[in-house]
Structure 1
Amino acid sequence: MPKIEVHGVSLLYTTVGNGNHAILCMPGFLGTAEDTFGEIFKTVDQQRFRLVAWDPPGYGKSRPPNREIKMGYLKRDAELAAGLMNKLGHRRYSVLGVSQGGESGLILASAFPSNVISLATLAVAAKYDENMLRVARFYTMVDHYPEKKLNELLKVYDRDYLKKLTTDLFCYVQSAGYVNLQHVIGPIKCPLLITHGQKDSVCQAYQARELMTIFPLAKLHIFPEGNHDLHNTHADEFTGAVFQFFNSTFDGSE
């Protein structure tokens, strides 16, 4: 996969499909282009869509530099992602953001309204609650991960860096407290689809309904059997719903 320099940061990205409708795909915590969107790459209509997925700075192969998880880092991701799409020649595009990638997607859509056709999010938190703090604390206990999950992560990150990332996330969630997204993100002018798994144990499903109070014009799609990783476990169902939405927002002249 190629790399490109944006605002002094070397970013790895991949492009899948050759359609007219470009979709920027933004992973969440520890996520990379391939492990987050690999199942979607297999199921999406590649004649209709052109997916651009990245390893966020400090994740995967977008290193160095290492990831700095601190206040404002998701805004920085949004700015870099917008710069990436601009460098690749995509003036108008839609955005698919998963978890914290969805938070960055919301920031991007608010900050660059003339560039974003539509936005779909999955498993985005309206606020960091006690459940998410417990989850973040568990993430720091690297040695207690299921063996399969740990081995997958250690293919991408060494143990010390993984420990640093998870500890930094825990501190970030603590410091962010109960700050509502409404207080850090401006209005969203583009069509917005909020998706969530009813069985999400990381970011509970009520968070999607909280988002709907912030963005009342959005559409809401709850997957009854979906958990936090439903984009992988229910890829066909998820891709069908999300890309039908994207298709409905695109007139072909962008």
Structure 2
Amino acid sequence: MALLSLGGRLFKRGADIRSALTASQPFCSSMASGRQRVNGVDLYYEQTGRGNHAVLLFPGALGSTRTDFGPQLKSLNKERFTVVGWDPRGYGQSRPPDRDFPLDFFERDAKDAVDLMKALGFGKFSLLGWSDGGITALIAAAKNPDVINKMVVWGSNAFVSQHDLELYDAVRDVSKWSARMRQPMEEVYGAEVFAKTWEAWVDGIAQFAKRPEGSICMELLPLISCPTFIIHGEKDPMVPSLHPQYLLKNITGSRLHVMPEGKHNLHLRYADEFNKLVEDFLED
């Protein structure tokens, strides 16, 4: 079964691939971009909109603001929101340094994200986190309750199951992928660095399976106090429904919306529907 990594986790079948690639193409828009020194690294970011409500976008594994959030940077309401996309350290244009995956890499990304927003002058802001970025957002919200307004997460999990490990191991070796599948990430990283970094990510995420219950951030979920919106694609091949259900049960006051046709890249493939859901939630 063909699988593709593109900024988040994985996509199946050619239609998903074409949809994701089309939706994430660069676009023309008024946007500020630059690098901000945060915690010893230069983090790349892009900022658009002039609304009072600041929103930070968290990309997925090996992802970047442009590969993962083109439709959101382009189309989220710029009068109501100020939208900031960023490349976590070692990803996209936030290199050097090379990416590594110590056991605390999600916590490190969460701290970088919050400190970046503070450095850019935002006192309070909301979070939109996809896949690995959703995990980072969960941790950021739990550890920084005073600065987080609201949070939206999708394609994310608070623990790693044995089934999850099997999915990751099946795609460890990118040389077995088709050239078309490898191309998006090879354009960002180069073939050798992409292969090495992807394998390191597989090892990095797998190490959580050795923790009690495979926890990534299970113990932090009860600390989340901001309004939280969980979106799940019912046809997501990488994140079974038990993961969003677990988040719903363990995040006080959270709500869950299921998109029947949604897969892992639901915010790209169904961008208009997703953006409206997010805007309505943030403005509620």
Counterpart of 1:240, as a letter, is K
Q: Distance in 2 between matches of 1:134 and 1:82?
A: 32
Deviation at 1:214, TM superposition (A): 1.4
Structure 1's consecutive aligned runs of 4 or more residues displaced over 6 angstroms after TM superposition are none
- Answer yes or no: is the 8 Å Cα contact 1:13–1:53 preserved in 2: yes
Question: Which of 201, 210, 217 is residue 169 of structure 1 equivalent to?
Answer: 201
Question: Which of 268, 273, 276 is residue 232 of structure 1 equivalent to?
Answer: 268
What TM-score results when the alignment is normalised by the length of structure 2? 0.84
What TM-score results when the alignment is normalised by the length of structure 1? 0.93
Q: Distance in 2 between matches of 1:134 and 1:146?
A: 20
Q: Distance in 1 between matches of 2:122 and 2:202?
A: 35
Report matched runs for 1:124-203 at 5 Å: 124-177=156-209, 178-180=213-215, 181-185=217-221, 187-203=223-239
Question: Which of 35, 44, 51 is residue 76 of structure 2 equivalent to?
Answer: 44
Deviation at 1:173, TM superposition (A): 2.8
Counterpart of 2:223, as a letter, is P
Deviations 1:185-212 (A, max 9, x none): 5510110111111001111222111111
Counterpart of 1:51, as a letter, is V
Percent sequence identity over aligned pairs: 32
Whether 1:104 aligns to 2:139 is: no
Question: Which of 222, 226, 250 is residue 258 of structure 2 equivalent to?
Answer: 222
- Answer yes or no: is the 8 Å Cα contact 2:137–2:151 preserved in 1: yes
**2:94 counterpart SS class:** coil
Report matched runs for 1:62-101 at 5 Å: 62-101=94-133
**2:188 counterpart SS class:** coil
Of 220-229 and 179-188, deviating more is: 179-188
Deviations 1:86-138 (A, max 9, x none): 01100010010111111111111111111000111011113212332122213
Q: Distance in 1 between matches of 2:279 and 2:162?
A: 33
- Answer yes or no: is the 8 Å Cα contact 2:221–2:250 preserved in 1: no
Tell me how many residue pairs correspond in the alignment.
248
Q: Distance in 2 between matches of 1:168 and 1:183?
A: 25
